[in-house]
Every structure is written in structure tokens, then in C-alpha cells.
Amino acid sequence: MLNTFSDPYLALAFDIGIAAVGMTILLALVIIYLRITMRRNARREAEFIARWRPLLLEALYEETPSPVPELAPQDQLFFLKLWTYLQESLRGPANDRLNGLARQLRCDAAARGFLKKGNRSERLLAILTLGHLRDEASWDALALQATQADRLASLQAARALIKIDPLRGTEWLFPMLLNRRDWDIAQIANFLGEARQAFWLQLANNILKVDQGQWTRALQLADALHLQLSLKSVRFILENCKSAATLVAALHLASDAKLLPAVRYFWQHADWRVRVEVARFLGSFGEEDDIGLLRQSLHDEQWWVRYQAAQSLARLPFFGPQQLSLLRQQTTDGLAIGMLDHVLAEYHGPMA
């Protein structure tokens, strides 16, 4: 009888098949082990929360809370997750009580350890913890994290630095706030709310010193934080910026009638977004001479320019919705008629 295993290729195929079956079995065992481990950890965490949540809540609201037990090393992550969740949900004295409890349990040291040697999720949790604790000893480690490519970790590290020291943090982070395009403006504005005045000082002192390529982002941050720049700074940017995006941001931030001559200059700008901002500004600070500009803007090819022009005319104290109705009766251009009807309907309801 022919021995099929005498062929080396068949023998190799047989060995590969056996190895594949072995690997499949091993992979199945690993998956089973991981699922069992995950379920065990989930059960342990649920038991931990059931035991510790009442203790934390008591520490928040009771004048003389019950003593808390020692925190086992294997429970540190569970505690920090629960503690951070409460920190993000509360404000005021409650945060200070949570901080005192965390330091009592040496969670500051544990968080520093996770930041130095933990995996990514542990580092993120440590960054949040150290920020809430305002842990000055972690400043250098957090500053290093803020420079890393990891967008989420770096952004959270920046937030932690602001929590630890708003003035120092804003000064140190200022170049990154303008340069890191992976940091979302809304997210930055959210954590800079705690250092709004400190950021305004940095911005006011440096806006005309930074590279023009950073003007747009600086102005967008100022707008998101509802900050006002000096008349001198806004005028300088309007007169010197070369980017349409910067011009849009500067015009959106402009809020002084003394800027009228500079703003009027751009009413026929090639970028429709600029023309929208000019029309908006004229609605707030325009004079009677500006009615002609806004009337001409009613014929603009861009819908948003026409809309803002009609809105601004209706908003001017010496023009208003009544005059807008008369203008509608005198207008023959289809684009302008359509927009006037649209805006008048917002004020008075649909026209008959």
C-alpha cells in the first residue's frame, strides 16, 4: 500500500493543517479566558461600586462622614473611575471634599504611577485625576503629555494644566493652542472657560506679535470665549490680514462703530463670507449712508449675503421692517424680492 506521507509536500500540508487546528483551538481558549476575565472584572467592579458609592456620597454631603476603609491596590482603577465620574458631575465644595478623600487614600501617588507606567486608558484616567486634584507635582509629566501626538491625551493634559494653575497653564500652552489644529476650538474653549481672563491677557498681549497665519485661530478662540480685543488690535488685523478666513474671524469679532470705515472697505470682497460679515456689522453699527450699501447687497448672488443684508436693514433703527416693506413694493429684481419676502415673513408672517 502506497504511503501518502512519503510525499514531502503532502507531509508539509498535513503539518500545516495540524498547526492551524492547534492555533484555532488556542485562539478559542484565549477568547474564552478573556471573556471569563472580563466578566470577573465587571462583577468585581460592580461589587466595588455598590460598596464605595454610598461612602463617597456620604463623604460629599455629611459633615462627619464615616471612616472609609483602606483602598486595595487592585481596586485603585475602580475607585478612580468612580471618583472621576463624580468629579465631572459636581462643582464647588463637593469637588474639594472628593479631593481630600482621594489624597487620604493616596490616589495622587497611584495616579502618578499610572501616568508613568500605565497603558493608554490608565494614562487618560490618571491625567483626569491629576487635573482634578490640581497636583502641582505632576506638572512636568502632564506638560510632556500635552506635547504628544495622541490628540485625546494631549488635550486632556492641557485641560489638567489649566486646572492646576490657570495663569501658568495658559501662558505655557498659548503657542500650542494656536498651532495644534488637531485640538478642536470648541473643546479648547470648554476647558479655557476656567482660565478665561488669563487667556484674554495672553491674547491681548500677543495677538499682534504672533505669525499672521495664527490670527484666524486666535480670533476664533476669542470668539468662542466671548472675549473682546482692543480697537487697535482689530483695526490692525483688518488693515493687514491677507487671508479671507482671518478677515471673516476679525469682522465677526468687530464690535465698535469706530471700525465702520475699515469694515465698509470690504463690502464688495470676493469671498461671500466676508460680505456676510460686513452686512452683519452694518446692521449693528451702520449709519444712514450705509442703507445704500445694504440695498445693493440685496442683489448679491449669494443667498446668505442677501439674507444678512435684509436682516440688517430691518434691524437698523432708522430703517426697520416698515421701510423694508416699502422697499419690497418698489423692488423689481427677483432675487431681492424673494429675500425681502422671506425676511418680512419672519417679522410679520407670510405676505398675502
Say which CATH class 269-352 falls into.
Answer: mainly alpha
List, for residues 197-219, the tens digit of each pLDDT value: 999 999 999 999 999 999 999 99
CA-based torsion, 155, 156, 159, 165: positive or negative? negative
CA-based torsion, 327, 328, 329, 330: positive or negative? positive
Q: Are the C-beta atoms of 234 and 254 separated by less than 8 Å?
A: yes
Could you give the dihedral angle defined by the CA atoms of residues 238, 239, 244 and 249, in that order, rounded to the nearest 10 degrees? -10
- The domain segmentation of the chain, as residue ranges, is 77-164, 165-254+261-265, 269-352
In angstroms, what CA-CA distances link 242 with 215, 238, 260?
Answer: 10, 9, 19
> Cell triple for residue 128?
483626569
pLDDT reported for residue 1: 46
> Cell triple for residue 283?
446692521
List, for residues 219-255, the tens digit of each pLDDT value: 999 999 999 999 999 999 999 998 999 999 999 999 9
Q: Could you count the other beta carbons within 10 Å of the beta carbon of residue 261?
A: 8
* Span 77-164 CATH architecture: Alpha Horseshoe (1.25)
List, for residues 245-272, the tens digit of each pLDDT value: 999 999 999 999 999 999 999 999 999 9
Statement: residue 113 has pLDDT above 80: yes
Give dist(CA 6, CA 24) in Å, integer: 27
Statement: residue 3 has pLDDT above 60: no
Give dist(CA 78, CA 265) in Å, integer: 61
- The answer to whether domain 77-164 and domain 269-352 are alike in fold is yes
Q: What's 226's DSSP letter? A: T
List, for residues 304-345, the tens digit of each pLDDT value: 999 999 999 999 998 888 899 999 988 888 999 999 999 998
Q: What's 62's DSSP letter? A: -
In angstroms, what CA-CA distances link 231 with 15, 42, 197, 225, 285?
Answer: 80, 58, 18, 18, 14
> Cell triple for residue 293?
450699501
Give dist(CA 71, CA 283) in Å, integer: 62
Q: Could you count the other beta carbons within 10 Å of the beta carbon of residue 17?
A: 10
The pTM assigned to this predicted structure is 0.79
